[in-house]
Amino acid sequence: MTTAPASLEVSGLAFAYPDGHQALFGVDFTVARGERVALLGPNGAGKTTLVLHLNGILTGGAGTVTVAGLPVGKRHMAEIRRRVGIVFQDPDDQLFMPTVREDVAFGPAAAGVRGTELEARVRAALEKVGMEDFADRPPHHLSFGQRRRVAVATVLAMEPEILVLDEPSSNLDPASRRELADILRALDVTVLMVTHDLPYALELCPRSLILSDGVIAADGPTGALLSDEALMRAHRLELPFGFDPQSVTMGA
């Protein structure tokens, strides 16, 4: 029996910007198909630089990134970008069409999907995020939380292997935060979640990576990492006042 390749393999990834600033110093980790993993770390740790390597927005450093067995590089770039869906922190960076339906259809249509298949993709993506009743609305008439869910749908319509979420809970009210958590838990995709919201990471991601000074400083069960006070202090990570990571029941 052959096992499917890991969703994501990062090996020896190092990268310096043209101004000489070295952001990554040799990052190694693997994410299995279907895992939900949080990427934690202080500002300036290299999280954004790492994420931009996952679908080839940044290239040219040392090391390798492999998505579902395909090396990230020019040869496979179109397929890599289909397989790695990035949901940016500001949904307005991803929503620019007159209606929700057209926004969700944009990616698959650009990739050549047409007709009934395109309609089915759009409908399925909107149903997954609970926004099927808003298909004909202009995105700018939606609440911030609704726009974030539509932004997730625009990526799901591409049927990605990996969903990368940049600060998914930021600027959400408690109800929207809960709704998004329920949506993410139900998805059948690999999730890599970049977040400063440590309780959200604990609730959604059984495993976490701590990126600090351009290297993976820790990799393990989220609850264990968040309970390690010395580790947290060393990497400038702080839990909300009074929050006890041991008191949370992990979502499977």
Residue 115 lies in a domain: no
**DSSP code of residue 249:** P
Quote the number of domains for the chain: 1
At residue 166's C-alpha, the angle toward residues 133 and 143, to 5°, is: 30
Buried b (16+ CB within 10 A) or exposed e, 123-134: eebbebbebbeb
Structural domain boundaries, residue 37: 8-94+161-239
Residue 39 lies in a domain: yes
Residue 213 lies in a domain: yes
Task: Assign residue 216 the CATH number of its domain.
Answer: 3.40.50.300
Residue 111 lies in a domain: no
Q: What is the Cα–Cα distance from 216 to 209, expressed in whole angstroms?
A: 7
- The pTM (predicted TM-score) of the whole model is 0.90
Residue 41 lies in a domain: yes
CA–centroid distance for 125 within its chain: 16
- Quick one: 109 exposed, middle or buried, by C-beta within 10 A (0-12, 13-18, 19+)? middle
Residue 150 lies in a domain: no
pLDDT, tens digit (0-9, with 9 covering 90-100), for 149-190: 999 999 999 999 999 999 999 999 999 999 999 999 999 999
Total residue length of the chain: 252
Residue 169 lies in a domain: yes
Residue 170 lies in a domain: yes
pLDDT, tens digit (0-9, with 9 covering 90-100), for 81-114: 889 999 998 998 889 999 999 999 999 999 899 9
Q: What is the Cα–Cα distance from 193 to 252, expressed in whole angstroms?
A: 15
